[in-house]
C-alpha cells in the first residue's frame, strides 16, 4: 500500500537522509539500477516541486537517465541498510544486477516507469524537466580542488544536475 505524503512535511527527514545517502533509482531497456547519492536538493522552480540530483557523468545511472529521463528517490525511514548502502554505493550496474543481488522488492511507480523499493520506503517519483552539466571554470577553487582533482577532470568526473519534477510522493506500507 502507498500512503500519499506531502513532500514539504517530510522535507527535513528527506534532506537529513540525503546527507547520509539515499538511493536514486533509474530504469531503461528492462534494466533497473540504484545508486547511493549524497548530493541533492528539494525546492521549487517554475512553480513545480523539484528534487535535483547530481550524478557524475561517468556513472551508469547517467547513461540510464539519458535513455529514460525519470527516476525515483528512495529514502529510508531510519538508517539505510548497510548492505544496500555498500553495494549500491560501490558497485556499478554495468557490472552486476544490484536489485537481484540484494533481493530488493520493486513496486511499480504511479507516474513514472521507474519503480520504488520496498526496503527504502519513502519515495519521490520524478520526471526530468531540466539538466545542466557542470562547467569547471564556474566551480570555485575550494570545491574544484576538493571534488574534482587534477588528472580526473577529463574522465567523466564532473556532475550533471538532473532537475526532477516530483510527480508523486508516498511511503510504502505493508
Q: Write the Ramachandran bin of 103: left for phi over 0, alpha for psi from -120 to 50, otherwise beta.
A: left
Q: What is the pLDDT of residues 127-154, one digit of tens each?
A: 999 999 888 778 888 887 777 766 555 5
Residue-level pLDDT at 57: 86
pLDDT of residue 141: 83
Please write the tens of the pLDDT for every residue from 63-100: 999 999 999 999 999 888 899 999 998 898 899 999 99
- Residues 17-37 have pLDDT tens digits of 999 999 999 999 999 999 999
Predicted confidence (pLDDT) at residue 110 exceeds the cutoff of 80: yes
Q: What is the pLDDT of residue 58?
A: 85
Distance CA 15, CA 160 (A): 19
Does position 160 have pLDDT exceeding 80, yes or no? yes
pLDDT exceeds 80 at position 101? yes
pLDDT at 42 over 70: yes
Which carries the bigger pLDDT value, residue 150 or residue 13? 13
pLDDT value at residue 69: 98
Is the pTM of the predicted complex or chain greater than 0.95? no
Whether 155 shows a pLDDT value over 70: the answer reads no
Look at the domain 2-172 and name its fold.
Pnp Oxidase; Chain A (2.30.110)
Sequence-distant (6+) residues with CB within 8 A of 27 are 33, 64, 68, 70, 113, 114, 115
| Confidence (pLDDT) at 84 | 93
pLDDT for the residue 25: 97
CA distance between the termini of the chain: 6
Phi, psi of 58 (to 5 degrees): -85, -10
* pLDDT at residue 152, as a whole number: 54
In whole numbers, what is the pLDDT of the chain averaged over residues?
92
Dihedral angle over CA of 125, 66, 156, 89, nearest 10: 40
Amino acid at each position: 500500500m502507498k500512503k500519499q505524503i506531502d513532500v514539504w512535511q517530510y522535507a527535513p527527514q528527506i534532506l537529513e537522509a540525503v546527507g547520509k545517502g539515499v538511493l536514486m533509482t533509474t530504469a531503461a531497456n528492462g534494466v533497473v539500477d540504484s545508486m547511493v547519492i549524497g548530493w541533492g536538493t528539494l525546492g521549487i522552480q517554475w512553480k513545480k516541486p523539484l528534487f535535483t540530483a547530481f550524478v557524475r557523468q561517468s556513472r551508469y545511472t547517467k547513461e540510464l537517465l539519458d535513455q529514460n529521463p525519470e527516476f525515483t528517490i528512495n529514502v529510508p525511514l531510519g538508517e539505510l541498510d548497510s548492505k544496500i548502502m555498500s553495494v549500491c554505493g560501490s558497485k556499478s550496474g554495468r557490472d552486476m544486477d544490484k536489485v537481484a543481488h540484494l533481493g530488493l522488492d520493486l513496486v511499480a511507480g504511479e507516474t513514472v516507469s521507474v519503480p520504488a523499493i520496498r526496503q527504502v520506503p519513502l519515495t519521490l517519483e520524478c520526471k526530468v524537466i531540466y539538466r545542466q552539466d557542470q562547467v569547471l571554470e564556474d566551480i570555485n577553487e575550494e570545491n574544484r580542488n576538493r571534488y574534482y582533482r587534477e588528472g580526473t577532470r577529463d574522465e567523466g568526473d564532473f556532475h550533471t544536475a538532473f532537475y526532477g519534477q516530483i510527480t508523486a510522493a508516498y511511503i510504502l506500507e505493508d
